[in-house]
Amino acid sequence: MTYKFGANRQCARRVDTVLPNFLDSANEVLSDEVTTLEEHREIFPLLMGWWLFTRSTAAAMIHLYRQGFTVEVKPLARNLFAHAFAMSWLVDNGPAAVQAVHTYLGKQEQSFTNNLVEIKYPLPEPPRKVAPPVFQTLEEHRWHEKLVGEITYFANMVAAYNVPMAYPLYRMHSAYAHTSAQTANAFITVGADGRVGFTAEATEDTLTDQVYMAVSVFTAAQAIGPTIKGDPMRKPLEKAMGDLGISGDLRPRRKSCTAPRPQAGPTGDSRAVTPSA
């Protein structure tokens, strides 16, 4: 039987069954030592870390939806969506993307240190000095700065991938990750007579989020699967997607551009041990 995927109650019920089963299957095939292709060796630790975060975030969302939470889950939906997108970005851009992530991390750490120094908070140890990356050509440096801009600002990342609706969707969910009128309005009711009331449970409908969290998980799985020897997630992924009426390659693709040609590396495989669920 072929199902039609969409933001409806029937599909949401199927997601509630199919997605946990897929996550369990993915946990099983990745529960022991996995072998990543050598061409992906440098990106794999970060990629696997993001996959494990994505997996856990989806599991948390499923649990919270079952408990009746709605708007409280929106910040998790934003994280899930952004990480799935970034996993494709990481695979697309390879070691240069890893370098960009670490440069951004260094900037975040320096900014946090500056905050502590400003309030005269005693630092446990002197801030560590991080040597800036060295580039052989101006072209490589410019490419690095572009990637840093993309991992720093999600708007830049989605613009590079020509997915115009992705950033408004991200912004919409961001309102629930910060102190905002939206977080209050979810619990406020206004009657026909203008009287203001309050409800203990949010009035927002999160049906679309419930359904499309499966798309984010499947996108992330399509990003990491081919980097592992034998692509052990392929069959359970295809089954889960088919059960929900989803098909095709979900991964975003970068707009045509010229990136510095990476230097050839060794061939072969690398092994990594992943944690059990």
* Residue 252 in domain: no
Per the structure block, which two tokens stand in for 201? Answer: 């449970």
Calpha distance 12→239 (Å, rounded): 17
* Residue 190 in domain: no
Q: What is the DSSP string of 143-194?
A: HHHHHHHHHH-HHHHHHHTT-TTHHHHHHHHHTTSSS-HHHHHTTEEE-TT-
| pLDDT above 80: residue 276 | no
Q: What is the pLDDT of residue 273?
A: 47
Q: What is the pLDDT of residues 126-171, one digit of tens each?
A: 767 777 888 889 999 999 999 999 999 999 999 999 998 999 999 9
Among 60, 76, 71, residue whose Cα is nearest residue 207:
71
Calpha distance 193→35 (Å, rounded): 65
Q: How many residues does the chain have?
A: 277
* Overall number of domains in the chain: 1
Calpha distance 105→63 (Å, rounded): 31
* Residue 198 in domain: no
Q: What is the pLDDT of residues 17-36, one digit of tens each?
A: 999 999 999 999 888 888 99
Whole-prediction pTM: 0.90
Per the structure block, which two tokens stand in for 198? Answer: 């309050």
* Residue 249 in domain: no
* Residue 64 in domain: yes
* Residue 177 in domain: yes
Per the structure block, which two tokens stand in for 3? Answer: 């199902």
Q: How are the residues of the chain apportioned to helix, strand and coil, as percentages rounded to the nearest 5? A: 60, 5, 35
Query: Stretch 257-273: mean pLDDT, rounded?
Result: 53
* Residue 256 in domain: no
* Residue 99 in domain: yes
Q: What's the domain range around 141?
A: 9-184+204-244
